[in-house]
Amino acid sequence: MTVHSRGVKPPISTDSEALIKAPPVPKYLAPQAKAEWKRIMPQLIGRRIITKADLAGVEAYCSAVGAVRQIADTMTACGLPDLKLGGLQIRYMQTARQLAAEYGLTPTSRARIGAGTSDNDDADNPLAV
């Protein structure tokens, strides 16, 4: 019998090559994306899950979040909702959400980070074998 693990993501764990200091904010990012970089980078560094190889994905996440905020500002300034801009904003939101899950920036993905730790509570659990 085979075990299918479709849709099951492996737990996020610390990396031996994790960055210990936040890199500078990329200059090409929009102001809203730079603000997101400054907001999330201390969390990622503190959890020791981000490496140099991951920086492009983090930049993409920050760019997507920045685009969502820019579109929101544009639609607010226009006063009327623009369906094309709204659709674009939704796509950027979906991309940002998917990238956020990759780096432990959502509640569910943060819970997966803790899933890899071992608990010594087996004595208290009557179902533990």
Please spell the DSSP secondary structure of 67-129, one letter per residue: HHHHHHHHHHHHSS--HHHHHHHHHHHHHHHHHHHHTT-SHHHHHHHHHTS----GGG-TT--
Reported pTM? 0.75
Q: What is the pLDDT of residues 72-95, one digit of tens each?
A: 999 989 887 788 999 999 999 999
Residues of the chain with pLDDT under 50: 115-119
